[in-house]
Structure 1
Amino acid sequence: SFTDDAGHTANPSDTDPSSYFGADPQIKIDKVTVDDAASGDGISILSGEPISWKYTVTNLGNVALSGINVTDDQGVVVSPDLVGGFNVGDTNQDGKLDLTEAWVYTGTGVAGIGDYSNIGTASGSFTDDAGHTATPQDTDPSSYFGADPHITLDKKTNGVDHGLNIFQGQPVTWTYDVKNDGNVALSNVVVTDDNGTPGIGDDFHPAAILSGGFNSGDANQNGLLDVGETWHYQATGTAQLGGYVNNATATTDAYTDTAGHSRTPSATDSSDYEGYSNKALTQGFWGSHTDAWDNIPGNEGNPTKSAVKSGVLSSLDVNPSVDDPATVGVDESKYLLLGDANHNGLVDDDHNLWISISLA
């Protein structure tokens, strides 16, 4: 203050404002898994399908951010979605993540089998007037389930896969085991057998082996072929003469993932038998049916099939067309050796029968 001689007082004063801006740099990332029209977290995707991940980065703070970077913890290559050299969300194309902007990034891959999760990380930076720098960061996980609908079929003839020898007219039982070795439950199991005549149209469906009204392999009796379950089917018949092969196919209803993509599991398997005649052979049979023992592939059309294959004759006994000069007085070309248990072509077994071709 100041007072003059007349007693007048003045009180001079002055003001000067000062201010600052409290910067609050924040960043937000939202990551989702994308399969065509379906996107989100925890969706179901058929294994082997191409997929992508979408990373959307926004600014939740009050200052623009620079140096935006997005990474993925599973090694997915993340790339910005660009327009004119700038991120598609950089509306003013100033290279900074402004408060109202949402920047977009994409990664791609192929759906695996089972549960999968990866984490996206976004970061940026802001530097104040004093040179202090903040690097806000945010993370967001996303996941999917890689569905693998798959079945196997194990078919047997009288408990044997291949090479069963059986007499004509004997009973035959075919068994069909359908196993879910995938990772999703499946419905409506159907087994079809081609009846040994593919393409003819006489296929049949083996009957399910039931227990309590459910397939005996349906452990929890829910009517679904659950993961790890094996359902059982069977059919019966009578052995025919000759070679018989029947092929079976097992299918289920298609499995559909979240995006509406479908896959129908299917499996095939075959089994076979060789049917032999159980009829007694009359005198003169071998002599008039050389195709039964000549060991020539394809010469097996007579009612006994191949005597060599059935073990009645060995390969040393067939084609007796060369006389052995060491056996004086005996012409081997006119004889057939039966019951050669040790298959050495010599009459040295207790049950050998060396018989002339004219009588055989």
Structure 2
Amino acid sequence: MKREIMHRSRTKAVVSVLSGLGLVAMLLMGALSAQAATPPEPTYASANVDGNYGEWDLVNDFFADMYRAADPTKKVESKLYVRYDCETETLYVLVLAVDGVTVLPEPDNAFVKLGNAITLVNGNSGDDGTPPDFAWVMSNDDYIGFEASASLAPGSYNNLNVHVNVDDGGSQTSAVADRAILLDLLCTAEPDICVEKTALDNNVDPPVTLHYEYQVCNPGEVPLSNVDVTDDTCDNVQYVSGDTSPANGKLDPGETWLYTCEFLFEGPSLPGICVVNEVTAEGQYNGQTVDDTHYAVVHCYSPPEGGIQILKTVDLEHVCPGQTLIYRYEVTNLGDVPLYNITVNDDTCSPLDGPSGDSNHNNRLDPAETWIYTCRYTVTGGEPNPLENRVIASGDVMDDGQVVDTVTDRDPAIVQIVPCPQVAVEFVPEPGTAVLLASGLAGVAGYASLKWGRRPKS
């Protein structure tokens, strides 16, 4: 199944705070509300219950505050983060104490329940890799929270009860509001997969070994199992990296896995495009298979005609809509007579800047001389993918003031258009200003950067 991937442009706002707190507070609170999670639905992803919460996103996965004695009018002493894997019907919970508070390692008082009667997991559940699982989270020698998993069928629950005892100037209970909050495990999100293929070689002269790189991503909101990547020409596709958050053998939402492949291309060598091949990536979720395809092209080397040669390079192999590519063109006279009336035309990028390199300023491309041109092109997202464009250079051979021959050369460049990074909002206060946070006023002695990123939820 081929499909067109719609790429969202990256949005990045940078606000420099020059004076006053009102504008900062308004913008900051607006950003927080725009980027916060949307309970009662959790993030649809998995986690490792091992006491290391590095795979958790403390913005996207935030679910609820936990108050002293479960009373919303009292202080927040810990935070609740929730994920759910619809495929395995597993609920994942992370509880972290707020700054200045530690967790008391009391197994009976660290739990996830439905109401007060049904215990899903607690500190006595152990950690054998099968739900229910439990692991304390520590920082140095301090207990600061716990991770847990439990089996729970999809549905809507109005009595999620998460609790831990903390040390906050003495032993205190910390729990979700009224020990019963809403939890919707809807599992209505559709799985999705995307693949981008890049040929790392171009202008080849066979026989030659061709190298390919594949980026397989999950733009959906549910993890994919049994990910398979096949190339219709290159049959030894190898996984390289990417399964990191967590390393669970699943292509989680927002993850990108890298694969490579190489094969010996023996010809024939034809001017222009001589190898076109396609990759297919597949993944599964709840018995449903999703796939995506992408092709790459490799050009065979064409000897320059009559002594002129142009070599075209680009500064990026992958680009997302809104980014700017910088093309560089090197035009060289390989012959033994000067060339006049040099023209360089790119079928996509214009105008070109240059040339530089006419060292004797005679406006002729002398033998062995190289002129340099550049061009900047901003990708819109509406271009064919991969973005392939060609440049043509030409020059005239003159005799007694008359054009007796015109020589030309061509060279392509290929760039893969990929999805942009997730939306980010960045605030950069000036030195000496103050930022109004939810917890009060915080003086900023130097530049501070606060960033939020969020996957959209259905």
Q: Pick the TM interval, shorter chain.
A: 0.3 to 0.5
Q: If each structure's strand is expressed as a fraction of its own residues, which one has the higher value?
A: 2
TM-score (norm 2): 0.27
Q: Over alpha carbons, which structure has the higher Rg?
A: 1
Query: Relative contact order (alpha carbons < 8 A, sep ≥ 6): 1 or 2 greater?
Result: 2
TM-score (norm 1): 0.34
